[in-house]
Chains A and B, each alone.
Chain A
Amino acid sequence: MSTETSGISGTSGTPAAPSGPAPAGFLRRALRQKRFAFGFTVTVLVVLFAVVAPFFAPYGEKETAGPPYAKDGVFGTDYLGQDVLSRVMHGGQSVLAISVLATLLGMVVGVLIGVVAAYAGGWWDEVIMRLNDVLLAFPQILLALVVLTALENPASWVIILLIGASHAPRVARVSRGVALGIVSRDFVVAAEALGEKRSRIILAEVLPNMTGPLLAEAGLRLTYSIGVVAALGFLGFAADPGAANWGQMMNENRLGLQTQPWAVMAPVLVIAIFTIATNLMADGLAQISQRGDD
């Protein structure tokens, strides 16, 4: 279809302008939405728990509290006789830190790739997205596992790097899609015609109009980060095999599920609550950014 409207006078329908909402009002409006408000509150609570709990834990991280798989304490003890409650309280920090950093890394790299591909267009876009497709052929966990094959004990930064790298192509695809809808708009063309610097066009004209969808994507990526971090722990790939870690705890105590279910169920439930909350939050953000000023 031509972009010209060829009625004899003005078309009556005003073309819907999918304008992104202003950042300040965004959070306020978001909090009025039930789904986001719930997800956000629970996420904040879990994060607070992970950050503060180690200071209140009744036992140390690697301290033996009693015989293995005993019913002592709130949640009993684990396969080494460590207190499950204390392990859960200690085990959040690393999961949280790794997830957040990996999400940040994946978002920054992915958004950069996606926006540059969309803005450059043509041949560049084609090549960048083809290479992106190659990385997309690896399921997220697979990319991490393949690299871990040749490493002995992966350091935390390696895990952050791997999870971030597995997010980047997915974020790139999403942000390219969002950016494509923006770079074709006339205000970007207008900036081009004025001769604005390309970097300024991306930073000042394109990116501010993407915040809504990108926030939603970040929430989704955080959910997946938590999942992958926990999964790596569950599969037994962690920097410090003795440290408390929600994912690892499930693996360590799996054989005792019958006798001492809480040793597994406590970390399982925390992860489930955490991921449900972040996902609700992400979806709330997505809905608000889609609906615009509604």
Chain B
Amino acid sequence: MTLEATLPDPLAEGAPPRGRSGGAAWALWLARRLGLAVLTLWLVSVVVFLATAALGDPVRAILGRDYETNVARREQLEAQLGVGDSIVSRYLDWLGGLVTGDFGTSLANQLPVWEQISSTVANTLVLVLLSALVMIPLAFGIAMISAHFRRRRPDTVIQTILLALAGVPEFVTGILLVALLSTSVFHVFPAVTISTLDGHPWDEPKGMVLPVATLVLAVTPYVSRIVRATLLEVLDSDYVELARLKGIPEAVVMRKHALLNAIVPGIQVIALQLAWLAGGVVLVETLFAYPGVGKQLVDSVRNHDVPMVQALSMIIAGVYIVVNLVADVLSILLTPRARTAISS
């Protein structure tokens, strides 16, 4: 079929094309990837703008019953949102601001958006990174134990538990943890994060435990199940069979032949889950009153604070795109086949 044509003549078993211009090929490839990421980000901005500014009437939503009576406030809001202008020019204004780092002014308290966001972004990053640090070794460990007992009792039990956890929404897990560990059964950890205006939520480490635990419980099952499946697939492969028939000790087979080839899908799923965490924090932060982007987003949506929501959703979507880009590049660097395909 189509592939037949791309094969070199098998009789000419010369060296495969080895690009002397490997560096240039890499640069070109990377530039293409970056370009695609920027394109995606731009389209995301279109979606965000249309969803917030064009689908409904934020001024009516903010004012509710006062819309008819409070004309002054209405006109002031409409002026701030530029309701009179055409949608295209409003979008271009907003995009221009984004590019130059001006996120606009909050409708709720008339403060610059960036000023309010910067600290919450840092808080969320800490929460996500802490969760990832706990999650990655945990998920890989469970996957390896499970793969070791493949299709026997311990494996089945682990898989069923993971599967059950994977289905439960993260905030439901969170509430169960709160009931268990802070209010109803034990009283070990605080149910909400308390932070002063100038301080950070991690000043009180105990308050971080439940949010981190909830996120870890939400993400670990996915990662672990996929890593296990990949490991099993690799362990069933012909090259692992040959390694065994060659007399390579099982531990070396596992470490050198199997894990090496299972790591790329692992990276992919971790990236996907890190990106998911960016959205998962919305509910978990709200539940634990953690001062991060998620809670801020929910509050802003409640207040119909359009500029805030626009900025926050751009940040969350941006994180997704960047994490995926990094994962793609890493996967390619770790897969010889893909790597050599680019440099030649």
* Chain A residues within 8 Å of B309, by CB: 145-146, 149
Query: B127 contacts the other chain (Cβ, under 8 Å)?
Result: no
Q: Is the CB of B48 within 8 A of A146?
A: yes
Contacts A137-B321, A257-B191, A275-B168; A147 near B3 (Cβ below 8 A): no
In the complex, residue of chain B having the shortest beta-carbon distance to the beta carbon of A140: B279
- Complex interface: chain A residues within 8 A of B167 (CB): 223, 275-280
> Which residues 210-231 of A sit at the B interface, judged by CB distance below 8 A?
223, 226-228, 230-231
State which residues 1-37 of B face A: CB under 8 Å.
1, 3-4, 7, 36
| Contact residues in B for A130 (Cβ distance below 8 Å) | 36, 39-40
CB-nearest residue of chain B to A142: B279
Residues of A near B61 (CB, < 8 A) are: 149-152
Interface presence of A133 (CB below 8 A): yes
Residue from A139, A150, A230, A254 in contact with B282 in the complex, judged by beta carbons closer than 8 Å? A139
Interface size on A, residues (CB 8 A): 53
| B window 297-315: CB within 8 A of A | 297-298, 300-302, 304-306, 309, 313
CA distance A135 to B40 in the complex (A): 9
Contact A137 B64, beta carbon cutoff 8 Å = no
Q: How far is the CB of B19 from chain A (nearest CB, A)?
A: 22
Contacts of B58 in A (CB 8 A): 149-150
Residue B116 at the chain A interface, CB threshold 8 Å: no
Contact with B along A1-21 (1 / 0, CB 8 A): 111100000000000000000
A199 at the A/B interface (Cβ < 8 Å)? no
Measured CB to CB, the closest approach of chain B to A286, in angstroms, equals 10
Residues of B with C-beta under 8 A to A230: 169, 171-172
Asked whether, in the complex, the Cβ of A4 is within 8 Å of the Cβ of B4, the reply is yes
Specify which of A142, A148, A268 is in contact with B176 (CB 8 Å cutoff).
A268
Q: Does A250 lie at the interface of the complex (its beta carbon under 8 Å from any beta carbon of B)?
A: yes
Q: Report whether over half of chain B's contact residues are helix, strand or loop; otherwise say mixed.
A: helix
Q: How far is the CA of A130 from the CA of B57 in the complex (A)?
A: 30
Identify which of B53, B172, B317 contacts A272 (C-beta below 8 A): B172
Q: Does A261 contact B (CB under 8 A)?
A: yes
With known contacts A139-B320, A146-B51, A231-B171, A276–B164 Cβ distance under 8 A: yes
Contacts of B47 in A (CB 8 A): 134-135, 138
Q: In the complex, are the beta carbons of B183 and A258 less than 8 A apart?
A: yes
Across the interface, name the chain A residue whose C-beta is closest to B57: A150
Is the Cβ of B183 less than 8 Å from the Cβ of A145? no
Docked-complex contact A275 and B304, CB < 8 angstroms? no
A178 to chain B, nearest CB (A): 17
Expressed in whole angstroms, the minimum distance between the Cβ of B255 and any Cβ of chain A is 28
Which residues of B, 317-343, contact A by the 8 Å Cβ criterion? 317, 320-321
CB contact list, A92-136 vs B, under 8 A: 130-131, 133-136
The reply to whether A231 and B317 form a contact with Cβ atoms under 8 Å apart is: no
Known: A138-B313, A276-B164, A280-B163. A258 touches B184 (CB 8 A): yes
| Given A152-B56, A228-B169: 15 more A-B contacts, CB < 8 Å | A134-B40, A134-B47, A137-B320, A138-B47, A139-B278, A141-B279, A141-B283, A145-B301, A149-B306, A231-B171, A231-B283, A235-B282, A268-B175, A272-B168, A283-B163
A residues contacting B by CB (< 8 A) are 1-4, 35, 130-131, 133-143, 145-152, 223, 226-228, 230-231, 234-237, 250, 254, 257-258, 261, 264-265, 268, 271-272, 275-280, 283
The 6 closest A-B pairs by CB, nearest first: A139-B279, A279-B167, A150-B56, A227-B169, A137-B317, A275-B167
